[in-house]
Amino acid sequence: MKLIIASNNKHKIEEIKAMLGVRFDVVQGMREAGLELEVDENAETLEGNAEKKAAEVFALADSMGIIGNGDAVLADDTGLLVDALGGAPGVRSARYATDGHDDAANRRKLLYALAGVPTRKRGAHFATAMVLKIKGEPDIEATGRVFGVITEEERGENGFGYDSLFFYEPMGKTFAEMDAEEKNAVSHRKNALALVLAALN
């Protein structure tokens, strides 16, 4: 069976392959599968974006005849939800400061928005919504979360996005201070993948 991941992000593909490779003989990103598609992620929720991406990539792959019964497409969308900001930036996490994907600008805007907010009120969580569309079978939907606190300044050199501001209390580090193995063991995407794998099993 084949799994096509609706992404060309190398790190994401490797992480998904490590967990779902036990159920699929072939795991490919879009480029590797020969798919060129830019999905407009304009839904109002993470779940809506994941569903839209999965549906459009699945339709293209199906029309090209590159998936058969039992083959699947996996799509996800991730956001950071900050309690003091009523869940913002949420579904707009990647475009919080600009319409482009400017991670540094997004972090600066978040720190500005939380200026003066005490640590005890800086709770937040990452959420990853996933949709697995399997040809000939019902969809599988799952959302994984991980909870933490937004720091008052950036810490760490690893990761991307908001990782340098997201402090994970059980490990006493921001996501950007963890290596890939540490982060992948506790991340929102790992938690969503575990739910998908449980549903497959």
User: Which is catalytic among the residues 62, 71, 76, 77?
Assistant: 77
So what's the pLDDT on residue 66? Answer: 93
Question: Which CATH architecture group holds 2-200?
Answer: Alpha-Beta Complex (3.90)
Structure tokens at 191: 């938690």
Residue 138 burial (C-beta neighbours within 10 Å; 0-12, 13-18, 19+): exposed
> 19 falls in which pLDDT band (50, 70, 90)?
confident
Structure tokens at 90: 């949420």
Structure tokens at 82: 């900050």
Residue 41 has pLDDT above 90, yes or no: no
Phi then psi for residue 31, to 5 deg, are -60, -45
Query: Count of CB atoms within 10 A of residue 51's CB?
Result: 20
Kindly give the pairing relationship between strand 123-134 and strand 140-150: antiparallel
Q: In this predicted model, what pLDDT tens digit does every residue of 67-81 receive, in sequence order?
A: 999 999 999 999 999
8 A C-beta contact, residue 193 and residue 19:
yes
Fill in the amino acid letter for 60: L
State the Cα–Cα distance between residues 158 and 51, nearest whole angstrom.
29
pTM confidence score: 0.91
How large is the C-alpha radius of gyration of the chain? 17
State the Cα–Cα distance between residues 83 and 87, nearest whole angstrom.
5
Instruction: Report the pLDDT averaged over residues 113-139.
Output: 96
Give me the DSSP letters along 124-169. EEEEEEEEEEETTS--EEEEEEEEEEE-SS---SSSSTTGGGEEEG
Kind and range of the H or E run holding 46? helix 46-63
Asked if 76 is an active-site residue, the reply is no
Question: What are the residue ranges spanned by the domains of the chain?
Answer: 2-200
Q: In this predicted model, what pLDDT tens digit does every residue of 132-191 receive, in sequence order?
A: 999 999 999 999 999 999 999 999 999 889 999 999 999 999 999 999 889 989 999 999
Structure tokens at 42: 């304009």
